[in-house]
C-alpha cells in the first residue's frame, strides 16, 4: 500500500518552504503527498512581500476533498495565519479523525517576516495543539508560545518542552537548529521521558524551509507506520544531509533552500 501524507500549509512562491518544501520532502522519502493550501505568499529567499489568505470555507472544502478520496496516513500542519483558519482546520481534523498529526507552529519566516497573526496565537494553543500527535517548535516559536525568553541550554529546552506539555501538547519536539555550538540537538519531550537527537551543525546560509522540511519528514515517517522516535531520527538524518548538500546550491540571493533531492541529483 502506498503511504500518503497531506500537508495543510501555506504556499511559498520561491519553492523553498511551505507546501512546496513539504511535497518535495514527502516525495524524497517515498511518500505520496497531497496538499491543502491555507495561504498564498509572495515570497523568495529574501523575504515575504505579501500574504493572501485562503477563505476558511475553501480550506475545509480542500480537506474534505482530499480525505474523502485518499487514504491519508499522516497529516503535517504548517502556516495558519488567522484564528478562523485554525478553527477550520480543527473542524476538518475532527471530521476525519484517526491520523497522526505533526503540527509545526509556524510563526515567523526564516527572513524574520511574521506569518501568524498575533491574535491567532491563542487559537493555535487552545484549538490545535491538543489535537496534534507532536508539535515541532523552534526555540523562538516555543518562547513565543510560552511568553518567555528563548531557551539557551538543553535544560531550558527541556523545561520549555515540559511547559508546553502542561499547556495541552501530547509531545513536543524542541528544535535546536537556532541555537549555538558545533552540535544541533533536538529534544523530544513527552510525559515521563526526554530523548536527544544530536547532529553536527552545518555551516550554510541555505536554511530556508528547514522547519517545514523537518516536520514534513517526521510526518512521512509516521505515514509509513514508524513510531515517533524512529520518524524523528530518520527526519533529522534527512534534514542534516539536505543542509550539507545545500552548500553547493545557488538559488536566489538570500537564505537559499535546503537540497531536498540531494540523493537523486547531487550538485
Asked if residues 21 and 57 have their Cβ atoms less than 8 Å apart, the reply is no
207, 213, 233, 236: the catalytic one is 207
Q: Has 210 been annotated as catalytic?
A: yes
Nearest to 214 by CA among 73, 86, 103: 103
Q: Has 127 been annotated as catalytic?
A: no
7, 133, 210, 213: the catalytic one is 210
41, 110, 185, 212: the catalytic one is 212
Q: State how far the Cα of 127 lies from the Cα of 219, in Å rounded to an integer.
A: 20
Q: State how far the Cα of 112 lies from the Cα of 187, in Å rounded to an integer.
A: 24
175, 179, 185, 221: the catalytic one is 175
Q: Has 148 been annotated as catalytic?
A: no
Q: How many CB atoms lie within 10 A of CB 265?
A: 8
Q: Has 252 been annotated as catalytic?
A: no
Tell me the helix, strand and coil percentages in the chain, rounded to 5.
40, 25, 35
- Cα 265 to its chain centre, rounded Å, is 24
Nearest to 183 by CA among 136, 120, 236: 236
33, 211, 221, 233: the catalytic one is 211
92, 209, 221, 233: the catalytic one is 209
Cell representation of residue 147: 511568553
Q: State how far the Cα of 164 lies from the Cα of 171, in Å rounded to an integer.
A: 9
Q: Has 92 been annotated as catalytic?
A: no
Q: Has 211 been annotated as catalytic?
A: yes
Active-site residues: which are they? Answer: 175, 207, 209-212
Amino acid at each position: 500500500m502506498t503511504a500518503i501524507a497531506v500537508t495543510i500549509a501555506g504556499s511559498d512562491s520561491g519553492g523553498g518552504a511551505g507546501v512546496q518544501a513539504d511535497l518535495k520532502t514527502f516525495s524524497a522519502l517515498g511518500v505520496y503527498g497531497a496538499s491543502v493550501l491555507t495561504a498564498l505568499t509572495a515570497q523568495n529567499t529574501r523575504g515575504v512581500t505579501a500574504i493572501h489568505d485562503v477563505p476558511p470555507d475553501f480550506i475545509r472544502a480542500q480537506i474534505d476533498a482530499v480525505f474523502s478520496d485518499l487514504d491519508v496516513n499522516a497529516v503535517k500542519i504548517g502556516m495558519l495565519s488567522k484564528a478562523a483558519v485554525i478553527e477550520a482546520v480543527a473542524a476538518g481534523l475532527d471530521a476525519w479523525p484517526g491520523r497522526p498529526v505533526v503540527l509545526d507552529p509556524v510563526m515567523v519566516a526564516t527572513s524574520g517576516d511574521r506569518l501568524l497573526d498575533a491574535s491567532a496565537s491563542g487559537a493555535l494553543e487552545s484549538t490545535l495543539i491538543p489535537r496534534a500527535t507532536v508539535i515541532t517548535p523552534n526555540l523562538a516559536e516555543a518562547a513565543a508560545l510560552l511568553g518567555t525568553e528563548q531557551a539557551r541550554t538543553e535544560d531550558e529546552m527541556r523545561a520549555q518542552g515540559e511547559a508546553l506539555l502542561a499547556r495541552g501538547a501530547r509531545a513536543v519536539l524542541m528544535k535546536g537548529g537556532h541555537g549555538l555550538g558545533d552540535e544541533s540537538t533536538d529534544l523530544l519531550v513527552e510525559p515521563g521521558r526526554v530523548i536527544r537527537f544530536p547532529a553536527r551543525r552545518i555551516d550554510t546560509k541555505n536554511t530556508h524551509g528547514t522547519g517545514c522540511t523537518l516536520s514534513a519528514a517526521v510526518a512521512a515517517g509516521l505515514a509509513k507506520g514508524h513510531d515517533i522516535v524512529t520518524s524523528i531520527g530518520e527526519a533529522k538524518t534527512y534534514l542534516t544531509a539536505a543542509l550539507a548538500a545545500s552548500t553547493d546550491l545557488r538559488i536566489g540571493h538570500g537564505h537559499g533552500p535546503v537540497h531536498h533531492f540531494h540523493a537523486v541529483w547531487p550538485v
